[in-house]
Structure 1
Amino acid sequence: MSKENDGYGLSAEKSAKEIKPPKLNYLPRKPKSYNPKIGLIGTGGISDYHLKNYKAFGLKVVAISNRTPSKAAALRDKYYPDAEVYEDYKKLLEREDIEVVDITPHPMDRLPILKEALRSKKHVLSQKPFVLDLKEGEELVKLAKENNVKIAVNQNGRWAPHFSYMREAIDAGIIGRPVSVDFSLQWDQTWITGNPAFENIHHMVLFDFAIHWFDITASFMKKYTPKNVYASVVKYDEQQYSPPALASCIINYEQSQVRMAFNAHTVLGEEDVTTIVGTKGTIRSRGPGLNDQPLIELYVEGGAVKIPLEGSWFENGFKGTMGELLCAIEEDREPLNSAEDNLNSLRLCFGALESANKNKIIVPGKVNKIS
């Protein structure tokens, strides 16, 4: 081989000049003066993170409802000792002083509560996944508009520091038009073993977990229309739990592609990497887990920089979803995490589930519901 071909297939190593980090507003926002009374309906495990971060954010939760009052009382005593506890959520909705409700039960139980809250003219933050039927989601969006209130979805991943920074960088045009987005996750979810709430979800990875990544994709690619989606799942003999631990998904756009790779059974060497290559640069985040992404790597024509991030997913995320809803109410606009916008995320997710079930390419929006 001649000397000029010795490096065939290898890029020349480049040393990039360090540049100043772009100033982007990626942290959760609070309203300037609007701080309404909030009611929480449902006190499942995730509600602890809601209340912990609402308290840290200076928000006012005045009522908590659960069918088991002792569970609501325990959370009340832990975070908001002056809040009222209700066994019947309808009593909470009757309170005229409560303007915003956070509704956390599972989708089937949550649907009638969402309807009653909107008819009670309360602004609503709904737990995710928003609905299991897109038509029901569209009806809820319509109901909110008829009652002149706002409904948002607790897709808290949008305010995970790394995802929020990346979204703001895309919106600011820093890396140009996104050409490829790669999500590569290897994590240990063997803690679900023996828990029927998870073991009975066949698409535990693609649905219960990856709903965040479909939502992040919709957020990153909001200016573009997805053409089709192909997904697959694999279960292997050495798994400790029932649902397939391996999943992948490709979403094609006219001139770009989003690729997801998941291994939920990585008991050694966990890693979570997100890379976005744009027409003007590349942005990357890497860490041992979704809640530990310490910095952003940015590469553009003028140079490169590593940007330390503030906060974590389980802090910024829960502050961000409620904070954005409150800001939207104060500013009389639709929230970034509006229910109507979230339907785009569900179209991607539902299409991926159908694709994995039938081993075929699916056009997002052709599948309206899941069983």
Structure 2
Amino acid sequence: MENENDGYGLSAEKTSKQISPPRIDYLPRIPKNYWPKIGLIGTGGISDFHLKNYKAIGLNVVAFADHTAEKAKAMRDKYYPDAQVYEDYRKIFERDDIEVVDITPHPQDRLPVLREALHAKKHVLSQKPFVLDIQEGMELIKLARKNGVKLAINQNGRWAPHFSYMREAIKSGLIGRPVSVDFSLQWDQTWIKGLAGFEKIHHMVLYDFAIHWFDIASSFMEGQQVKDVYASAVRFDEQLYLPPALASCIINYEQAQVRMAFNAHTTLGEEDVTSIVGTKGTLRSRGPGLNKQPMMEIYTETGEVKVPLEGSWFENGFQGTMGELLCAIEENREPGNGAESNLKSLQLCYAALKSADTGKVVSIVT
């Protein structure tokens, strides 16, 4: 006698037709006619990626500031040899011809520089994490508004090709409302062994690394009401560095969930997979590393398609953050990577750190 439940748990076989790739504008934007003079404050290692990509899209960096003049001169000579170098960053704020500043120092050193830049009525791109205290971030937002300038954050992961495609596809309504987002990352970060700057960060994964993913998740879930966060971090004996290499996080929304799983000690078989399931379809990308994801998988009610992706995180990302700020200034609107939007991302991140430290679910108050 046949059991009517035979096959329980197996999905019915479906034959889906191939559809044409949808039109999704995911590549970084640049201004149409606004090409201001830009000043860069802080010429540490990350500034190399800023400058390389600014040069690639034709931006006009005219001044460098760093308390170590030789570092600033080296970056100046490499990318913009006609630019002026200052040891005192305030000299940049005194220049009326400079309208936009890119401020890259670490958070505790950056806060007073941000305040001075906004008082000087300069448009600002701030390195991430924006602030260590949400209240300080709110005060900076008020100051920017008072002085009529834009304040954006260098959350460059938003313009990684796969993440940018997903965000814009969601905005277009392609897959309806997202009900689940899954980030699964296994990568090798054992290169930090012995580097005090990293090994001293207990939440190296959930904070220094995953801050990008909290920001990306927040951009995917824009308009949905977040409820609470649960996170954990685990260290194992065989690790080559001190901070916990394993971490996870669940972000609950009223009618959706974001799930993150991280293993930063994957010395063999690295993989990065992102899946978004919506009420009308699914988006998925995968790759052996974080910088490039070759293909976007799209599954909709009308059919499915695989779309090749252009560019990489460390190109599109740094072009996208500054490009979006300049477009926002030109179009007199808030930048998509604006400070107010970023505070929502930081709220998720800091709730996750508290949860991992206490072992408790942390409610989000909005």
Structure 1 unaligned regions, length at least 5 = 367-371
- CA deviations on 1:6-60 (whole Å, 9 max, x unpaired) are 4332213323211011111111001110000000000111110000000001100
Other-structure match for 2:304: 304
Other-structure match for 1:280: 280
Q: Distance in 2 between matches of 1:365 and 1:47?
A: 35
Q: Distance in 2 between matches of 1:292 and 1:222?
A: 25
**Aligned with 1:46: secondary structure?**
helix
- CA deviations on 1:246-267 (whole Å, 9 max, x unpaired) are 0000000111100000000000
Q: Where does 1:196-211 land on structure 2 (aligned, <5 Å)?
A: 196-211=196-211
Q: Decide whether the 8 Å contact of 1:351 with 1:365 is kept in 2.
A: no
Other-structure match for 2:33: 33
Other-structure match for 1:80: 80
Q: Distance in 1 between matches of 2:202 and 2:57?
A: 36
Other-structure match for 2:183: 183
- CA deviations on 1:222-270 (whole Å, 9 max, x unpaired) are 1111100000000000000000000000000111100000000000000
Other-structure match for 1:151: 151
Q: Distance in 2 between matches of 1:254 and 1:118?
A: 36
Other-structure match for 2:256: 256
Q: Distance in 1 between matches of 2:65 and 2:13?
A: 59
Q: Distance in 2 between matches of 1:31 and 1:364?
A: 36
- CA deviations on 1:49-97 (whole Å, 9 max, x unpaired) are 0000000011000011111111111111111111111111111111111
Which letter maps to 1:126?
Answer: S
Greater CA drift, 260-269 or 90-99? 90-99
Q: Distance in 1 between matches of 2:126 and 2:59?
A: 17
Other-structure match for 1:124: 124
Runs of 4 or more above 6 Å deviation? none
Which letter maps to 1:270?
Answer: E
Other-structure match for 2:162: 162
Q: Decide whether the 8 Å contact of 1:348 with 1:365 is kept in 2.
A: no
TM-score if structure 1 supplies the norm length? Answer: 0.97
Other-structure match for 2:56: 56
Q: Decide whether the 8 Å contact of 2:65 with 2:89 is kept in 1.
A: yes
- CA deviations on 1:101-157 (whole Å, 9 max, x unpaired) are 000000000000000001111000000000000010001001101111110000001
Q: Cα offset for 1:5?
A: 4.5
Q: Cα offset for 1:3?
A: 6.7
Which letter maps to 1:213?
Answer: W
1:95 counterpart = 2:95: yes
Q: Distance in 2 between matches of 1:182 and 1:245?
A: 19
Q: Distance in 2 between matches of 1:134 and 1:9?
A: 46
Other-structure match for 2:240: 240
Other-structure match for 2:12: 12
Other-structure match for 1:194: 194
Q: Distance in 2 between matches of 1:14 and 1:71?
A: 59
Q: Distance in 2 between matches of 1:346 and 1:302?
A: 37
Identity of paired residues, percent? 74
Q: Distance in 1 between matches of 2:9 and 2:223?
A: 34
Q: Distance in 1 between matches of 2:364 and 2:323?
A: 30
Q: Decide whether the 8 Å contact of 1:188 with 1:265 is kept in 2.
A: yes
Other-structure match for 1:292: 292
Other-structure match for 1:369: none
Q: Distance in 1 between matches of 2:120 and 2:19?
A: 52
Cα-Cα RMSD: 1.1
Q: Distance in 1 between matches of 2:95 and 2:307?
A: 45
Other-structure match for 2:140: 140
Q: Distance in 2 between matches of 1:348 and 1:200?
A: 22
Which letter maps to 1:347?
Answer: Q
Q: Distance in 2 between matches of 1:36 and 1:294?
A: 34
Structure 2 unaligned regions, length at least 5 = none
**Aligned with 2:173: secondary structure?**
coil
Which letter maps to 1:263?
Answer: N
Q: Where does 1:323-342 land on structure 2 (aligned, <5 Å)?
A: 323-342=323-342
Q: Decide whether the 8 Å contact of 1:123 with 1:151 is kept in 2.
A: yes
Q: Decide whether the 8 Å contact of 2:230 with 2:356 is kept in 1.
A: yes
1:363 counterpart = 2:340: no
Q: Distance in 1 between matches of 2:2 and 2:216?
A: 47
Q: Decide whether the 8 Å contact of 2:292 with 2:311 is kept in 1.
A: no
Q: Decide whether the 8 Å contact of 1:37 with 1:98 is kept in 2.
A: yes
Q: Distance in 2 between matches of 1:58 and 1:186?
A: 36
Greater CA drift, 128-137 or 89-98? 89-98
Which letter maps to 1:109?
Answer: D
Q: Distance in 2 between matches of 1:255 and 1:220?
A: 14
